[in-house]
């Protein structure tokens, strides 16, 4: 049985979210303790809660929503890169030779901040995105809440992703994952009209 790493945040009450965004909540609709034959509940959450996949619609008003995006970028061989110590943004020099790898995930945290919002998270330089695209990369992932800095108004890294029609994973948890090659499985939910979707992201050891 090949080893699996779960690289997803737990969705839960109190989950740190982008300042001003919708808090995560899970509330009962019907409960067995009240005589219902089953327990049923409801979720309220930001589309960008926890570990998620941005849809192109997030940064392009004419972009595909989460239901329309193809699945191929979110499934397949990927390279995990140790980008700890990158400071404000990951520069091109951080990325090793890719040799045809189409998915790259960046670890920037020593220890993922599960219980606090980090406003000074590491972003990715737009030039790095463009360089990855030129190498044939189709998906870029990171363990921070966004490819762009929290105070960005121009979203230059997302615009570089748009220009190359790449896909994005954010909010990954890579603390326990050694740098190297893995199989990535992180499929967005087919949510009509959504600008992003939570994903259950895992890495599986390659045979
Ligand atoms: N929830 C938000 C609300 C407003 C602005 C940004 C966010 C984000 O979460 C950042 C997002 N994950 C991004 O793709 O950059
Ligand atoms: Zn996002
Ligand atoms: Zn994003």
Number of domains in the chain: 1
- Residue 135: CA atoms inside 13 Å, Cβ hemisphere, count? 20
Mutate to test the pocket of ligand 1, among 52, 145, 195 (most ligand atoms within 8 A of CB): 145
Mutate to test the pocket of ligand 1, among 21, 45, 48 (most ligand atoms within 8 A of CB): 48
2 Cα: distance to centroid of ligand 3 (angstroms): 31
Is 48 in contact with 21 (CB distance < 8 Å)?
A: yes
pLDDT of residue 23: 98
For 130-177, the pLDDT digits (tens) are 999 999 999 999 999 999 999 999 999 999 999 999 999 999 999 999
Is 142 in contact with 108 (CB distance < 8 Å)?
A: yes
Burial of residue 9 (CB within 10 Å: 0-12, 13-18, 19+) is buried
pLDDT of residue 69: 86
- List residues near ligand 1 (CB under 6 A): 18, 21, 46, 48, 54, 58, 145-146, 148, 170
Print the domain residue range for 152: 4-204
Q: Is the ipTM of this complex over 0.95?
A: no
pLDDT of residue 177: 98
- Ligand 1 atom closest to 155 (CA): 15
Q: How confident is the model at residue 93 (pLDDT cuts 50, 70, 90)?
A: confident
How many H helices and E strands in the chain?
2, 13
Is 166 in contact with 138 (CB distance < 8 Å)?
A: yes
**Could you tell me the two tokens for 84?**
């700890």
For 3-27, the pLDDT digits (tens) are 999 999 999 999 999 999 999 999 9
DSSP string, 49-78: SSSEEE-GGGT-TTS--TTTS-SGGGEEEE
For 24-56, the pLDDT digits (tens) are 999 999 999 999 999 999 999 999 999 999 999
Is 9 in contact with 21 (CB distance < 8 Å)?
A: no
33: CATH: 3.50.30.50
34 Cα: distance to centroid of ligand 2 (angstroms): 38
Q: Catalytic: which of 55, 58, 78, 94?
A: 58
């Amino acid at each position: 049985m090949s080893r699996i790493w779960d690289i997803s945040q737990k969705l839960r009450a109190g989950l740190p979210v982008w300042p001003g965004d919708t808090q995560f909540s899970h509330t009962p609709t019907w409960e067995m303790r009240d005589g219902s034959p089953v327990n049923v509940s409801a979720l309220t959450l930001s589309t960008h809660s926890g570990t998620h996949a941005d849809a192109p619609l997030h940064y392009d008003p004419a972009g595909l929503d989460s239901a329309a995006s193809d699945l191929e970028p979110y499934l397949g061989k990927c390279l995990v890169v140790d980008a700890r110590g990158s400071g404000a943004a990951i520069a091109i020099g951080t990325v090793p030779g890719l040799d045809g790898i189409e998915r790259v995930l960046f670890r920037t945290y020593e220890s993922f901040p599960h219980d606090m919002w980090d406003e000074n998270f590491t972003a990715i330089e737009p030039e790095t995105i463009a360089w990855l695209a030129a190498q044939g990369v189709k998906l870029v992932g990171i363990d921070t809440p966004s490819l762009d800095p929290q105070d960005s108004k121009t979203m230059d890294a997302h615009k570089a992703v748009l220009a190359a029609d790449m896909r994005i994973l954010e909010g990954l948890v890579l603390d326990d994952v050694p740098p190297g090659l893995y199989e990535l499985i992180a499929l967005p939910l087919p949510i009509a009209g959504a600008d992003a979707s939570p994903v259950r992201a895992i890495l599986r050891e390659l045979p």
